[in-house]
Structure 1
Amino acid sequence: MAGDFRIRLGHLVVLLLSFSFGQSFYIPGWSIKTYSDGETVPLFVNKVYSDNTQLQYAYSELPFVCPPSGRIYGGSALMSGTSISLNLGEVLRGDRIMVSDYELSMGKDEEARYLCSHKVDRKGLRRAQELIKGGYVAEWIVDNLPGATSFVTVDKSRKYYAAGFKVGYEDFSPSTGNPRYFINNHVTLVIRHHQAPGRDGQHGRKVIVGFEVYAKSIEADNRNATGLPEDIHDVHNGMELRMQPNATLLEKYAESSYIPEDLDDADNGPTLTIPYTYSVYFREEERLEWQNRWDLYFVNEEDSSKIHWLAIINSLIICGVLTAVVAVIGTRTIRGDIKGYKESSVEDGKTKSKRSKGTRSPRKSAEKNGLLDQIGDADTDGDVSSDDELPEDITGWKLVHGDVFRPPAHGVLLAPLIGSGMQLVFMATGLLLLSCFGVLNPSFRGGFISVGIALFIIAGVFSGYFSGRVYKTFGGQKWKKNVVVTATLFPGLLFATLFILNLFVWAQASSTAIPFSTLLGLVALWLLVQLPLVYVGSWYGYVVVGSWEHPIKTNVIPRQIPLQSWYTKSMQSVLIAGLIPFAVISVELLFVFKSLWQDKSGYYYMFGFLAVVSLILILTVVEVTIVAVYIQLCSENYQWWWQSFFVGGGSALWIFLYCVWYYWTKLHIEGFVSSMLFFSYSFLACAVYGLLTGTIGFLTAYAFVRRIYRAIKAD
């Protein structure tokens, strides 16, 4: 079992330093595996999973399947029962790939072949019944393609694949109504191949373009001496998972598949022998090229492209309205305020020059440095407040000029959050770009997670840089302490949460549990790679580049904030502002959630649409933050630092509420652990999303505030 958890150190080093994505990765058109007639085609077993739970299990460790015999495949070094080395992403997603005993030879059909007869006790029987009742499906792999069950579209014009095949099925006794469970102990494997491109094809070699699995249940009786059924096609009775109850329970549970665990002896009771057989057929697929062999897995998603376009149009309309609002604020309102402010300042300067003699002319000062510099100079000399020097008709955001750049409370916490947010921005951008260009594709099993972790670690440089600059802008002095907080705050909370959740998964003996050796590897990457990168970035941002310069000075004594309207208060403004970005991505969330939670056997690959929606989302967050901060400053509330961060990430609250709604209305998750995992993972995903968009909102607001007050100074 330990072999299942191996991660080769070379894979991690290559992944981090040169982005060579491991042995399971290939670029379409380059790494093609070809087979000649009679050549062995290895079949790998992976795991079983269900849409009704978050717990997965290694197929080879199930107590009711054939154990590996240890035989060596002809003409290769593969031995059945050998665990395949996995990359980091495969381990984290619960993959446990092992070489199977199924024999496949290219071009050689097998109408019926015996695999084994496995004896199962009552404990193993109950385990099989639980998995069948939970709707579990098995994933097998041939030539990096997951075994799939084929279906046709509604109009019957196209075929598509759903990865995996059912472990068994549930039925009910016609006489008693009690549940009966049947295991699929026979599989028909259909390998679809195509002529290999180039010279290999001229020499008769083939490539695999499809792998289909059709499972059925066949009773253990009526078999010949080799263990094969008399008729593999005409099957009347399935292999029921039912064992004769002991004498005390025979009368009560005679027609039921259910045996009470507390009344039956699982260790010393009788056993049930399950025979396993399989058929193999090779069929040529002339119309499907090797580079397009994954298309059948995405036919369902392609049919929903119209909905994606409607979602994009909806997002563009919302973003267009916001753009118009921001344009009005920028081109008319703010420019008008600045122009009126300048005229009022000059007129007020003329009045004061007539009343006082022997002092510096306010008019000359206003013409030279702007009124705000004049006020700032007065504050620096010890004046309590500069409001008495302002023209009477100056209101709104112009009144808080002396406090708008006052460092926020708990800035030592905000700076690391901004750094971690930029780390996530870099990671998300890289993943989207690599996915859109096809570098990250389904053939790179576990690649999305592996590359995401690598990008996150490398982006520690950006995290340290932005955290260091923001920290120094806030007036921080202990920049090395800020490095430690930046490198450990968000990654540490994330790791601690995953570790606690992992304890519950460990207790369920699920392959979803992260092995302890992998946890140690993640800690090593975190502390030995990311932490030094954060230090380098922070040193450059804090020591070399330094803080951002503010266009005006800050008053000595903070101004009193007047009573705020209900819509400008913190929570209300965050909820209102967050609803708009949520409306932009709500439709696309349907497809993402369906792929993650409902169709675990499917693959989300509409990254082009996701990238477009993400760009619109970022633009929407930028514009919403600008509008919200402008309204807040017009209400004479200068505490915008944290507020801009919360407004930018406000849609995360609505997404989490959407997750709760999705859980109750769309999903059929069973069990406490699975429900806990769903809400925990949803919360972590929303926290990551909120941190990312919150950072974008903060930096946008900071640039906006500096721009409008610099414009006043310039005038």
Structure 2
Amino acid sequence: MKRRIHFGFVTLLVYSLVSYFCSCSAFYLPGLAPVSFCEDGKGGEDCQESRPSENLGQVLFGERIESSPYKVSFKQDVKCQAVCTKSYKKGNQEDVTKLDFLKMGMQLNYQHHWIIDNMPVTWCYDVEDGQKYCNPGFPIGCLVTSDGRAKDACVINSEFNKKNTFYVFNHVDIKITYHSGASEGWRGARLVAATLEPKSIKHTDEKKTSCEGGTPMEVPGEFNEDLSIIYTYSVTFEENNSIKWASRWDYILVSMPHTNIQWFSIMNSLVIVLFLSGMVAMIMLRTLHKDIARYNQVDQEESGWKQVHGDVFRPPRKGMLLSVFLGQGTQIFIMTFITLFLACLGFLSPANRGALMTCAVVLWVLLGTPAGYVSARLYKTFGGEKWKTNVLLTALLCPGIVFADFFLMNLILWVEGSSAAIPFGTLVAILALWFGISVPLTFVGAYFGFKKPVSWQSFFTKPIPGIVMGGILPFGCIFIQLFFILNSIWSHQMYYMFGFLFLVFIILLITCSEATVLLCYFHLCAEDYHWWWRSFLTSGFTAVYLFVYAVHYFFSKLQIIGAASTILYFGYTMIMVLIFFLFTGEALTYFLFVITTNGFQL
């Protein structure tokens, strides 16, 4: 309901337009069409089974879907059904290794993530203040330490009290809620909720299981005797016609990060923007006006920015690299803007798994033309003549760094045997998209960029203190949102508040632009005309703060052990930092270039 309130007007407008042009039929967004289920023997074309398929975004995120041994048929309740038995022999080294791995998973709070009808099976439990939290996953077990301290999920049961003991959640009670179409003109039923309750039950016989009461399934910290774990499950179906299919995610999303914190983040960012806007307005309307009046006096000696007004249009050092970075930054900026806009309209909701990453990758591939155009036009403005090198670097340099990093991370996943490793065929497909579509489009954009006649001009100043300070305020606008984004990537939480993210995105652009304008003016007043790289690095330095925050998050929030996991975390973080560096660095530099090359003079 909260998301509807935030975007009700936009949603109403979109549906009004759709209704106008398609008044004779309704439609669903791609990947979000409902599936109706019928009882065995009563199916048909309008009652089909759904088996989720993986798209490009899911594969890139390492989200692999596999069928489980838990068999569920619509409206067929199951009580204490045995699934399998896992036996561990004391003298078998392979069994010892497998049991140690299971213990490590419980100690690190590893989670099961199950899907039914493309929605997560959630574990809902009570928290403080009478609130209910629904987690889209549940732990494989928990641990009571040698000093008697119950960790993680072990706090839910007072029977979990034996020291130096692991408790396996080997039984789940699954409840599936459905909305019947009997009174609404469509056959079958649609699933609107799927919850479970994990339990630890010690079974003695797979053929005679009892899931009521009993002692917990204990795994001693010391492996001194043979061990058998019997896994069971129960399923119940419940009809609830008050929950519509379109609202079936509401009970999950209400447990996600609170909107009060999000509004605090927005207000914090707005205060920063207003502060910067006031400073820029003061400079432009007061200080600059006085400067111009003083400089217009006949006998006034030139000083400050007036002293270097003839030098600000000089080409920068390493203009080739700067033009390449700005071209790639333009590509990322447009991709980010369109992706967030579509997410705000609901096209990229969490229900459409992998859609966000798929959309971003496809947009990046198709936006090679703006990157080539911006890079070529800037390079020509700088008086550059190596146009072939410029186009090749624009098409290959930054994407090549990202792909090399990504390939190295994937190589580690292959070596570790992780299911998150991307198949070789998918890597080939990504290369085909890159070289087959993005690179040619970059050449097309570069052709028009070099063809357009421009006059060379320039504008950039001095080093480190201004650059370091320039990134602080933009980072202050995003760090709260960054916390939730990192949680969604590394801590099994779901991110869905794209409206807040879009607002922060706009605020970030304004903040980067105003901070860069402010610092460029100060440096020109110091009679330093080297503005090109400074304008790029001033806002681009925000990425350094992002990296520092990611390091802090790693040590304070995550419990990652092992060299491979650490390398993977920082490897993927470096990809994020590079992309963010190009995006924020581009935020204003090209805008200033457009102004100067169209005749703006101080």
Could you say which TM-score interval applies, normalised by the shorter chain?
0.7 to 0.9
Taking structure 1 as reference, are residues 173 and 408 closer, same or farther at Cα in structure 2, changes over 3 Å only? closer
The answer to whether 1:536 aligns with 2:426 is no
Counterpart residue number, 2:580: 689
Over residues 647-677 of structure 1, what are the superposed CA-to-partner deviations in whole Å (9 max), with x where a residue is unaligned?
A: 0212222222222222222322222222222
Separation (CA, whole Å) in 1 of partners of 2:507 and 2:41: 51
Separation (CA, whole Å) in 2 of partners of 1:76 and 1:588: 40
Separation (CA, whole Å) in 1 of partners of 2:532 and 2:427: 36
Counterpart residue number, 1:52: none
Counterpart residue number, 2:283: 329
Following superposition, the deviation at residue 115 of structure 1 comes to 2.3
2:472 to 563, 579, 582: 579
Following superposition, the deviation at residue 319 of structure 1 comes to 0.8
SS in structure 2 at match of 1:321: helix
Following superposition, the deviation at residue 548 of structure 1 comes to 5.0
SS in structure 2 at match of 1:710: coil
Counterpart residue number, 1:294: 249
SS in structure 1 at match of 2:351: coil
Over residues 312-331 of structure 1, what are the superposed CA-to-partner deviations in whole Å (9 max), with x where a residue is unaligned?
A: 22211211121122112222
Taking structure 1 as reference, are residues 658 and 101 closer, same or farther at Cα in structure 2, changes over 3 Å only? closer
Over residues 506-525 of structure 1, what are the superposed CA-to-partner deviations in whole Å (9 max), with x where a residue is unaligned?
A: 22111222222221221111
Over residues 483-522 of structure 1, what are the superposed CA-to-partner deviations in whole Å (9 max), with x where a residue is unaligned?
A: 1110000000011111122222222111222222221221
Counterpart residue number, 2:364: 456
The answer to whether 1:117 aligns with 2:85 is yes
2:138 to 150, 165, 180: 165
1:660 to 542, 548, 551: 551
Taking structure 1 as reference, are residues 132 and 484 closer, same or farther at Cα in structure 2, changes over 3 Å only? same
Counterpart residue number, 2:407: 499
Counterpart residue number, 1:214: 197
Counterpart residue number, 1:128: 102
SS in structure 1 at match of 2:527: coil
Following superposition, the deviation at residue 527 of structure 1 comes to 1.1
2:265 to 284, 291, 311: 311
SS in structure 1 at match of 2:76: coil
Structure 1: state its 5+ residue gaps: 1-24, 42-74, 243-255, 260-269, 348-390, 555-560, 562-567
Counterpart residue number, 1:179: 164
Separation (CA, whole Å) in 2 of partners of 1:631 and 1:705: 18
Over residues 439-476 of structure 1, what are the superposed CA-to-partner deviations in whole Å (9 max), with x where a residue is unaligned?
A: 00111111111111111111111111111111111111
1:257 to 219, 222, 226: 222
SS in structure 2 at match of 1:155: helix
Question: Highest CA radius of gyration, 1 or 2?
Answer: 1
Counterpart residue number, 1:277: 232
Taking structure 1 as reference, are residues 703 and 394 closer, same or farther at Cα in structure 2, changes over 3 Å only? farther
Counterpart residue number, 1:227: 207
Separation (CA, whole Å) in 2 of partners of 1:173 and 1:425: 52
One-letter code aligned to 1:666: K
Separation (CA, whole Å) in 2 of partners of 1:104 and 1:503: 37
SS in structure 2 at match of 1:281: strand
Following superposition, the deviation at residue 629 of structure 1 comes to 0.5
Counterpart residue number, 1:352: none
Following superposition, the deviation at residue 34 of structure 1 comes to 1.3
Counterpart residue number, 1:395: 303
Separation (CA, whole Å) in 1 of partners of 2:471 and 2:352: 35
Query: Higher mean Cα deviation, 676-685 or 603-612?
Result: 676-685
Separation (CA, whole Å) in 1 of partners of 2:41 and 2:356: 32
Counterpart residue number, 2:153: none
SS in structure 2 at match of 1:211: strand
Counterpart residue number, 2:114: 140
Q: Verify the 8 A CA contact 1:190 1:282 in the aligned structure 2.
A: yes
Taking structure 1 as reference, are residues 400 and 672 closer, same or farther at Cα in structure 2, changes over 3 Å only? same
Following superposition, the deviation at residue 201 of structure 1 comes to 3.6
1:35 to 29, 34, 37: 37
SS in structure 1 at match of 2:196: strand
Counterpart residue number, 2:488: 595
Separation (CA, whole Å) in 1 of partners of 2:36 and 2:290: 71
Separation (CA, whole Å) in 2 of partners of 1:533 and 1:676: 34
Q: Verify the 8 A CA contact 2:470 2:515 in the aligned structure 1.
A: yes
Following superposition, the deviation at residue 127 of structure 1 comes to 2.4
Q: Verify the 8 A CA contact 1:26 1:444 in the aligned structure 2.
A: no
Separation (CA, whole Å) in 2 of partners of 1:257 and 1:293: 44
CA RMSD of aligned residues (A): 2.9
TM-score (norm 1): 0.72
Following superposition, the deviation at residue 202 of structure 1 comes to 3.9
Taking structure 1 as reference, are residues 99 and 666 closer, same or farther at Cα in structure 2, changes over 3 Å only? closer
One-letter code aligned to 2:453: G
The answer to whether 1:425 aligns with 2:333 is yes
Taking structure 1 as reference, are residues 406 and 99 closer, same or farther at Cα in structure 2, changes over 3 Å only? same
Following superposition, the deviation at residue 633 of structure 1 comes to 0.8
Q: Verify the 8 A CA contact 1:179 1:258 in the aligned structure 2.
A: no
Taking structure 1 as reference, are residues 29 and 428 closer, same or farther at Cα in structure 2, changes over 3 Å only? closer
Taking structure 1 as reference, are residues 40 and 333 closer, same or farther at Cα in structure 2, changes over 3 Å only? farther
Taking structure 1 as reference, are residues 539 and 212 closer, same or farther at Cα in structure 2, changes over 3 Å only? same
Separation (CA, whole Å) in 1 of partners of 2:383 and 2:601: 24
One-letter code aligned to 1:611: F
Q: Verify the 8 A CA contact 1:102 1:115 in the aligned structure 2.
A: yes
Taking structure 1 as reference, are residues 331 and 32 closer, same or farther at Cα in structure 2, changes over 3 Å only? same
The aligned runs of 1:432-471 (5 Å cut-off) are 432-471=340-379
SS in structure 2 at match of 1:131: helix
Taking structure 1 as reference, are residues 101 and 679 closer, same or farther at Cα in structure 2, changes over 3 Å only? closer
Counterpart residue number, 1:630: 521
Following superposition, the deviation at residue 126 of structure 1 comes to 2.5
Separation (CA, whole Å) in 2 of partners of 1:652 and 1:472: 28
Q: Verify the 8 A CA contact 2:61 2:420 in the aligned structure 1.
A: yes
One-letter code aligned to 2:104: E
Q: Verify the 8 A CA contact 2:192 2:245 in the aligned structure 1.
A: yes
The aligned runs of 1:83-94 (5 Å cut-off) are 85-94=53-62
Structure 2: state its 5+ residue gaps: 1-26, 89-94, 149-160
Following superposition, the deviation at residue 29 of structure 1 comes to 11
Counterpart residue number, 1:14: none
Taking structure 1 as reference, are residues 84 and 271 closer, same or farther at Cα in structure 2, changes over 3 Å only? farther
TM-score (norm 2): 0.85
Q: Verify the 8 A CA contact 1:187 1:215 in the aligned structure 2.
A: yes
